[in-house]
């Protein structure tokens, strides 16, 4: 159809129902459009049927319509046209809500100029939604009118309700209601004290600053414990398994300490406390011997006070009283000063005890002879001085029992992470993984232990020749994991009769270890050189398999923590003209080998015990820490059961040492490890697991 007219600008729109009678109160579903078609010249269009397309737009220029309907065969008569919009395609409420312009296209012609919709076009919309658009009433919409097939979106507004019943989940960022009943409620936060929630106990109470929660009582009240400031509460919290309390006792290195006799000089004893941290308790113990304690004064100087200090006692006893024991402050109170003032402070550093004697010692008075030393100008001694402290560390944890690491225990691996080795770091250990060794501070220097295969674990590894899972030297594999052979110093059961550590003939053992060719022990034994009954523990017997030529062994034992031999173990060594002593350490390294000729009985000791000795010693091997290499004085020892020596002497019994006081002393019959020890002049060090052999020549 050719274009024949323009659409009049004046339109008449109305609402009507199609398809029969409408239900009561229901709104019409079509719009009535009336207009006229005219030709180009202005006359009415010819009568007939026309194809029309009618569209609704949001504005005058938008290309896409909100709604569009194609009408076929619309009757035009006298140019007049009447159309029921929505007959073939319903007009939805959303399109009608936004529609403001109407456009008409005749056939395939371009769309005629749009015209604006007037009030009549909005009648349907207002009839349907005027109340819902802005309800200003209460109760005008009942629950029967509210039914939602999809979600209810209130555009960010909240829902407030007296009651809420939900058959499924309730998810909300904010929910305010007097009561909510639901199977599941999911929210980002819950606001309230929980006091009215059933099935949930309300915890009450608070812990103070410095306290930790250790539990909740049956009544719901928090249980608290103080932490860190006093009393080692870490121990309370861990049942004693861990604590930050450290107990230490500091004593002078050299006691007894002589007291100058009325010379104006003071005896000064030093005790060094190494532990840092706040003091929980402190005790000072002093023991003094003096001919007249009424003339003695004692002053204690703490680390930070080297001038005045506190006076423990002045005088320290009555006239001619000779023994004093003071325990401060529990049993004795200082005359001046207060040790309890150190609780909560640090006690680290040197504590100095000064003892002043202002009266002369008179040896003629009863009991004074043993105390007066007129040659040295001393009167009695300080026999004991101890400072005992318990500190609460702020940087260390103490494990009172045994620490078991079921997983792993990791030590520092970088020496740069540790402080230098000193008394303060004694015992500190780290694993040097680069050099495969453990490094431990002994108080003076770092000592190392190289990592080696674990001989005796039944796993052959590294340089091990064998590993039979034991430390038995009499089987085919030695305790060094070497295959047993003749000449290794160990008698292999069932294959060797003897083994003197070499494969030479002409000595004690044949070169093939098949027979004994010489006398090994002076008593004819090959397994125990001591007199019968003097080897108290069979495994302590030691026979030197590397017997030096022209000597026979007359005594031998391995020094353990127990009593290994009796007091007369050296009987086989007496009545000889030459004696020889050899000592091996724990690694079987020979440390001492000395001998002497011209042995015989000599003058008595100052304490009445006879000794035997001879000329100068012959030093085959000596190490300064055990046997002073410049000491060529004769052997000193007892031949009558009374072992003498300086610095307080030795226990009764036969002994063999290297001089007055004895840097090293073989003391059979001593208590435990004292059977090989440094004498009292040298601190009394014991040498456990060392091997001792004494030899003689007729």
pLDDT at 591: 92
Does residue 507 register a pLDDT over 80? no
The residue ranges of every structural domain in the chain are 12-132, 246-392, 415-450, 538-697
Please report, rounded to a whole number, the percentage of residues in the chain having pLDDT higher than 90. Answer: 26
- Alpha carbon 82 to its chain centroid, in Å, reads 96
Where does the pLDDT of residue 229 fall: very low under 50, low under 70, confident under 90, or very high at 90 and above? very low
CATH 3.40.1160.10 at 246-392, yes or no: no
Q: Would you say residue 639 has pLDDT above 80? A: no
Q: What is the 3-state secondary structure (H, E, C) of 27-70?
A: CCCEEEEEEEEECCCCCECCCEEEEEEEEEECCCCCCCCCEEEE
Mean pLDDT for 488-501 is 86
Contacts (Cβ under 8 Å, ≥6 apart) of 161: 177, 178
User: Between residues 427 and 469, which one has the greater pLDDT?
Assistant: 469
Residue that wins the pLDDT comparison between 344 and 151: 344
- Range of lowest pLDDT (29-38, 440-449, 484-493): 29-38
The mean pLDDT value for 12-41 works out to 57
Split at pLDDT 50, 70, 90, the class of 648 is low
Position 605 pLDDT exceeds 70? no
pLDDT band for 131, please (50, 70, 90 cuts): very low
Question: Does residue 653 have a pLDDT over 80?
Answer: no
Calculate mean pLDDT across residues 4-11. Answer: 40
Establish whether the linkage from the previous residue to 643 is cis, with ω within 30° of 0: no
Residue 650 has pLDDT above 80, yes or no: no
pLDDT exceeds 70 at position 513: yes
CATH number of the 12-132 domain: 2.60.40
Per mean pLDDT, which of 26-40, 50-64, 194-208 is the most reliable?
Answer: 50-64
Where helices occur in 588-655 by DSSP H, the ranges are none
Q: Which of 602, 689, 673, 669 lies closest to 639 in space, CA to CA? A: 602
Q: Is pLDDT above 80 for 361?
A: yes
For residue 623, give the nearest of 576, 590, 648 by alpha carbon: 590
> Which band of pLDDT confidence, cut at 50, 70 and 90, is reported for residue 606?
very low
Residue 619 confidence class, pLDDT cut points 50, 70, 90: confident
Q: Which one is predicted more confidently, 511 or 194?
A: 511
Predicted confidence (pLDDT) per residue in 543-581, tens digit: 998 888 789 999 999 999 999 999 889 888 877 888 899
Q: Does 444 or 182 have the greater pLDDT score?
A: 444
pLDDT of 161 over the 50 cut: yes
Q: Is the pLDDT of residue 16 over 50?
A: no
Q: Report pLDDT digits (tens) over 373-413.
A: 999 999 999 999 999 998 887 777 878 778 888 887 788 77
659 or 341, greater pLDDT: 341
What's the pLDDT score for residue 610?
Answer: 52
Is residue 697's pLDDT more than 90?
no
Task: Please compute the mean of the pLDDT values over residues 675-680 and round it to a whole number.
Answer: 78
Mean pLDDT, to the nearest integer, of 602-628?
66
Give the ranges where 366-409 is alpha helix by DSSP (H).
none
Distance CA 534, CA 528 (A): 10
pTM exceeds cut of 0.75:
no
């Amino acid at each position: 159809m050719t274009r024949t007219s323009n659409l009049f600008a004046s339109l008449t729109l109305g609402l009507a129902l199609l398809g029969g009678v409408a239900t009561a109160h229901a709104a019409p579903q079509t719009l009535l459009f009336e207009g006229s078609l005219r030709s180009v010249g202005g006359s009415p269009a010819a009568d007939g049927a026309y194809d029309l397309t009618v569209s609704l737009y949001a504005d005058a220029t938008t290309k896409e319509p909100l709604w569009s309907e194609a009408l076929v065969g619309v009757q035009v008569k006298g140019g007049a046209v009447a159309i029921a919009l929505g007959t073939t395609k319903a007009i939805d409420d959303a399109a009608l809500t936004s529609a403001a312009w109407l456009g008409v296209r005749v056939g395939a012609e371009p769309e005629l100029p749009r015209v604006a919709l007037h009030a009549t076009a909005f009648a349907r919309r207002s009839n349907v939604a005027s109340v819902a658009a802005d309800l200003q009433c209460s109760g005008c919409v009942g629950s029967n009118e509210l039914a939602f097939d999809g979600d209810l979106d209130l555009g960010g507004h909240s829902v407030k309700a007296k009651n809420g019943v939900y058959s499924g989940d309730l998810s909300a960022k904010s929910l305010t209601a007097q009561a909510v009943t639901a199977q599941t409620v999911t929210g980002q936060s819950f606001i309230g004290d929980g006091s009215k929630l059933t099935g949930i106990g309300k915890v009450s109470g608070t812990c103070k600053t410095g306290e930790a929660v250790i539990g909740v009582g049956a009544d719901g009240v928090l249980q608290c414990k103080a932490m860190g400031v006093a009393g080692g509460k870490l121990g309370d919290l861990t049942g004693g398994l861990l604590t930050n309390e450290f107990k230490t006792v500091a004593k002078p290195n050299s006691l007894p300490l002589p007291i100058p006799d009325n010379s104006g000089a003071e005896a000064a004893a030093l005790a060094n406390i190494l532990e840092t941290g706040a003091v929980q308790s402190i005790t000072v113990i002093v023991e003094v011997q003096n001919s007249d304690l009424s003339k003695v004064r004692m002053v204690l100087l703490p680390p930070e006070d080297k001038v005045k200090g506190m006076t423990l006692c002045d005088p320290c006893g009555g006239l001619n009283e000779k023994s004093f024991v003071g325990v401060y402050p529990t049993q004795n109170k200082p005359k001046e000063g207060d040790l309890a003032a150190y609780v909560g402070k640090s006690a680290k550093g040197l504590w100095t005890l000064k003892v002043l004697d202002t009266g002369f010692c008179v040896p003629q008075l009863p009991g004074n002879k043993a105390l007066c030393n007129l040659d040295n100008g001393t009167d009695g001694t300080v026999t004991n001085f101890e400072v005992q402290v318990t500190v609460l560390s702020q940087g260390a944890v103490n494990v009172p029992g045994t620490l078991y690491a079921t997983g792993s225990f990791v030590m520092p691996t970088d020496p740069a992470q540790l402080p230098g080795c000193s008394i303060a770091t004694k015992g500190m250990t780290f694993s040097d993984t680069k050099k495969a060794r453990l490094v431990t501070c002994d108080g003076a220097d770092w000592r190392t232990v190289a990592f080696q295969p674990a001989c005796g674990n039944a796993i052959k590894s590294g340089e091990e020749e064998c590993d039979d899972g034991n430390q038995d030297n009499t089987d085919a594999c030695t305790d060094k994991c070497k295959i047993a052979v003749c000449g290794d110093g160990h008698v292999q059961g069932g294959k060797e009769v003897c083994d003197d550590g070499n494969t030479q003939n002409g000595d004690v053992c044949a070169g093939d270890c098949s027979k004994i060719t010489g006398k090994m022990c002076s008593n004819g034994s090959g397994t125990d050189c001591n007199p019968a009954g003097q080897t108290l523990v069979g495994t302590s017997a030691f026979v030197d398999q590397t017997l030096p030529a022209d000597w026979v062994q007359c005594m031998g034992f391995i020094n353990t923590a127990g009593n290994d031999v009796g007091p007369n173990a050296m009987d086989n060594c007496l009545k000889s003209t030459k004696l020889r002593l050899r000592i091996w350490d724990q690694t079987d390294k020979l440390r001492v080998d000395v001998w002497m000729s011209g042995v015989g009985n000599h003058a008595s000791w100052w304490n009445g015990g006879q000794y035997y000795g001879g000329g100068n010693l012959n030093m085959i091997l000596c190490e300064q820490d055990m046997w002073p290499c410049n000491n060529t004085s004769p052997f000193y020892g007892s031949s009558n059961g009374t072992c003498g020596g300086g610095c307080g002497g030795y226990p009764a019994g036969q002994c063999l040492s290297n001089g007055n006081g004895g840097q090293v002393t073989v003391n059979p019959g001593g208590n435990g490890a004292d059977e090989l020890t440094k004498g009292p002049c040298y601190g009394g060090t014991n040498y456990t697991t060392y091997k001792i052999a004494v030899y003689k020549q007729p």
